[in-house]
Structure formats: structure tokens, C-alpha cells
Structure 1
């Protein structure tokens, strides 16, 4: 489904009572299709990854955790929620399932015995290598027929949008 600017032409702009709409608020109507397409692309990407990765029997949040663990020498369990945008209880459940499958190990933090450090196992490293191949295949399909210049421009624009929305304290 393609989203065109004209389909959002009637989006109302709102200003605070007693104030004139700003130039940025007028531009909101122009951004509505862009933001919708970003959300739609994300939905399609997640679905395609899930379809392609069904043989791994891992959820996308589990993939995210394993990807972070495999590229480090161990991560504090308390740091994982921010890394994968999940709450601490969700991370705890993910780690329980990954440990049960032999993909992750939690151990006491040598600097703080109350805290845990999580490591990927050798089995996880092998799985992550396969998962990355699946991810590369989905990415290749996503950018099929798009020039390198267009991909680079899109990436730069999306990074700027992300930075704008994240705010100065989260970049």
C-alpha cells in the first residue's frame, strides 16, 4: 500500500487556544504520510524478519538481546532494558528463556555481587551469525532497486528524525 501526500491533505493543524498555528504546525500535515510510512516500513520489516527467522524459534526481542550480547564481553543485566527498549521484567523473562536454551549465561558482577552480568554462549555466537545472514537478506530485499545514493540520503534523513525525536539527552 502506497501512501501519498494528497491522502493526508486534510489533516488539521492545531495551535494552542489564542495562538496562530506556527509554520512547523502547518508542516505537520506534510509529515503525516512520512511518519505513517516509517511505521508501516517498520511493521513490514518486523514481519519479514519473523517469517524468515521462524526456524530459529526466537522472538525479535530475544534476537535484539542476543545481538547485543554477542558483540560484547558481557553486559550488565540492568543495562539491557535501555538497549532493547524493554522493561526490566521483560528482559528477565527473555534471559530466562535464552538461558534455558543454552544461549545466555548470567553471572554475578565482580564489581557488585548484587548485580548480574550476561554473556552470550558459544552456541549463541553461532546462532547470531546465522541470524545476521537472515537480517542481511531481509535488508537486501528492502533496498532492492534503490540506488546507494537514495539509501544513504534516506538513512541520513531518518537518523536526523530519530535525533530530533529523541531529544538532546537521548542521542
Structure 2
């Protein structure tokens, strides 16, 4: 009987949360969904602790984790001498993220520039298998057939696909 009452309470809570989310403004829906998920997780943790499947200390830690960020923010307001430590931590994290982003961007840029030696028009025609008097449609058709075979998603590799693309671009530029 107790389980039935508990199930009904949970269903009523889910229905209420759904109605609240549905009625909220579009810019607040994400926040409402987050809060509903957080509340549902808290209910599950409390139920697990009450049923004996989760130790009460574990339940307390799990319930405190979502509040920890706001708690630290309030703590820095109450104890201003702690603020520089948290600000320094935040600055260091931002600097690390920025450096990692720059390294990633430089790596991508280097990979884009590393397409092998430059092509001549003769080599480009040999790669695509087109003659000296090939038109735009013939170049595009030859490129399409070749890239379907050599594309990395279809078992080819990046180098060959980049050479085929470079050959097409060169020949279309020359036309």
C-alpha cells in the first residue's frame, strides 16, 4: 500500500513538473528541465537512503554536490578574503582552456597546410584522369567518381582525398 501511495506521489510530481515546463517561456524551458531533473535525482537519492540501499553519508554527499557551487559563491561573499583564491583558480582554468584551444587551432591549421607538394596542371589532370581539353562538367564528374572511392568515410585516406580535391580546384581555376 505504501508503494502505491509513493508511486502516485511520484506520478503527480512528474505531471506537475511537465505542466510547469510546458507552460514556461521558451527561454526558461532549459532551466526548468534542469531543475526538474535535479529534483528527480534528489528524490531518487532520498528514496535509496530511506530503503537502505544507499548509506546516509553517500546520500548527503550526493544531495550537497549540486548546491556546492552556489555555496562557494555565497561563502566568498561572506568571507571576502577567500575570493582571491577562487578568482585565481578561475583565471588559471580560463588560461588553460584558452591555451588548449589555441594549440588545437594551430594543429588544425598545420594539418590543413600539410597537403603535400603543390600540384602542376599536368599532375592534376593525371590524378583526375582527364584530358587537356576537359571541360568543367568532365572535371567535376571525374572528381566525383574518384572522391567516392578515396573519401576517408569510405575507406580512403585524408591525403588522397585532399590531393583529389586540390586537383579539382586547380583545374577549375585554370579554366
TM-score normalised to structure 1 length? 0.24
Name whichever structure is richer in helix by fraction: 2
Name whichever structure is richer in strand by fraction: 1
Structure whose alpha-carbon radius of gyration is higher:
2
